[in-house]
Amino acid sequence: MTGTTVHLAVYDTFADWEPGFATAQLTRHGHTVRTVGLTTAPVTTMGGLRVRPDLALDVLRPEDSGLLLLTGASLWDTGGTLAPFARAARAFLDAGVPVAAICGATAGLAREGLLDDRPHTSAVSHYLAATGYAGGGHYVEADAVTDAAGPSRGALVTAGPTEPVAFAREILGLLGVYEAKKLDAWFRLFHDSDASAYEVLEG
């Protein structure tokens, strides 16, 4: 799948290193990445970068997107500021459009009830348990988890904060950027520094 628009949520304190492996490869392979904020006012990332969102959340429609990508941020754990993004994730999933969430964004989805009945992961299980969600029985100890689309709902990718490469692997596989052999090689190259994987990627 190429030519898809991917929407990257941006907000103050967002973990700017977490989406980079995914967005770089998506852009290289013909996808468009657009940033979406609560408003179009600039935000400041955890790394101190200033980002001006391309559009505001209230005009984002699932039918105009191939994926909503949510990163971690301190704000996920300090109140309800980012709850509108979790509600947007619900709208995407209900419309059959995939959502990918890493780090603190998984807690936002948990609070919204989106992890109650589907396989998922995060930093550690007790981090999500602290949200009071009902999905503990579906927690998976893995670097990243994709729960494929089912009847009337989109696919969901989740990952913990130490796994941006695995998170990207799941997104790239979900959107068909690489076939299985090259996807494995890409992961080995960037996760394991396996130089031999480069030949598979370029072959």
Nearest to 155 by CA among 175, 135, 141: 175
172: tokens are: 């790239």
Closest by Cα among 14, 17, 7 to 81: 14
Longest dimension (CA), the chain: 48
Catalytic hit among 103, 166, 168, 174: 103
Instruction: Give the span between the Cα atoms of 69 and 75, in whole angstroms.
Output: 16
Judge whether 91 counts as a catalytic residue: no
DSSP-derived letter for residue 6 is E
CA distance 145 to 124: 13
CA dihedral (74, 76, 77, 80) in degrees, to 10, reads 130
**CA distance from start to end of the chain:** 20
- Residues with catalytic function: 103
